[in-house]
Amino acid sequence: MPQVVALYRYPVKGFTAEPCEVVDVLEEGRIAGDRVLGFRFADSGAIDDAWSTKHEFIALVNTPGIARLQLRFDHKALSLCISLDGTVLVNEALDEKGRKKIAAAIENYVLELDENPLTSHPERLPLRLVGDGVTPRYQDNEAGQITLHSRASLAAVGTVVGDNDLSELRFRSNIVIDGLDAWEEQSWVGRKIRIGQVNFDVAMPKTRCLVTQANPSSGIRDLPILKTLTHAFSQEKPTFAIAMITSGAGGQVQVGDKVSLLD
């Protein structure tokens, strides 16, 4: 029987993963603590607490160099520490003064990168650090959705691109499972599954973007993941992982939980 082998949440949209041994799945279909903050462009028309597309934020899709940053978010104290190669760039609470310091530190870092969305778009400055640090609201899809992939599918992609240690962090899934054949999870679309305490409806396959082509350690775009998915695996759209919503009440999912089909 397949089981959970890794769990991740991403406190700041588009930034470093936070490995977890257990996550709380909310009834609304999101993971507690996931995408609770984001660095939004000044010219975004969205209010701070509203969802908007990833193209209105500093994120890996437009700024691959942020992969080099290490983030540590204190979910209880509501403070954010950002480091580069072991050196702390900023460490502040999420009050008004702290948010401005954190946003300024990210601005300064991003503007030094060769590939960034700010240098030629001054109207996007200053950045705003949005989100209350508690409510998960900045997922790629407005409906939220929790993402899952299997290690067998990851290995299949790694074999084709010539990287047998392909990092699953490229794909930014919340739940990683093992014990399936490659791509078997794609057959679950439209079905119900149970993981640990929680039932899910599998809503759709997950279409990928340029984020996957950036090395999650160096920030260098080094592998043709999108072309590989469409050409080597004959996909109409570059697809990896599945997107799910909670069916009924939420609950906890932890590493080691069994995964089973309900229909």
Residues 235 and 145 in one domain: yes
Low-confidence ranges of the chain (pLDDT < 50): none
Tokens of 178: 């093992």
At 59 the pLDDT is 97
Residues 179 and 198 in one domain: yes
At 28 the pLDDT is 87
Residues 95 and 9 in one domain: no
Q: Are 196 and 174 in contact (CB under 8 A)?
A: no
Residues near 193 by Cβ (< 8 Å), separated by ≥ 6? 199, 200, 202, 244, 259, 260, 261, 262
CATH of the domain at 203: 2.40.33.20
pLDDT digits (tens, 9 = 90+) for 21-72: 999 999 989 999 999 999 999 999 999 999 999 999 999 999 999 999 999 9
Residues 151 and 237 in one domain: yes
pTM: 0.97
Q: Which of 130, 163, 184 is the last residue of a domain?
A: 130
> Is 135 exposed, middle or buried (CB count within 10 Å of its CB: 0-12, 13-18, 19+)?
middle
At 115 the pLDDT is 96
Instruction: Cis check for the bond before 126: say yes or no (omega within 30 of 0).
Output: yes
Residues 172 and 199 in one domain: yes
* CA 197/CA 257 separation, integer angstroms: 9
| Mean pLDDT over each residue of the chain, to the nearest integer | 97
Residues 76 and 108 in one domain: yes
Residues 123 and 158 in one domain: no
Residue 135 lies in a domain: no
Residues 60 and 148 in one domain: no
At 143 the pLDDT is 87
Chain mean position to CA 4: 17
Residues 120 and 144 in one domain: no
- Determine the 3-state secondary structure of 148 from DSSP: strand
Q: In which domain, by residue range, is 248 found?
A: 3-31+140-261
Residues 113 and 187 in one domain: no
DSSP string for residues in 220-243: -B---HHHIIIIIT--SS-EEEEE
Residue 190 lies in a domain: yes
* CA 132/CA 156 separation, integer angstroms: 39
Q: Are 239 and 186 in contact (CB under 8 A)?
A: yes
Tokens of 228: 């590989």
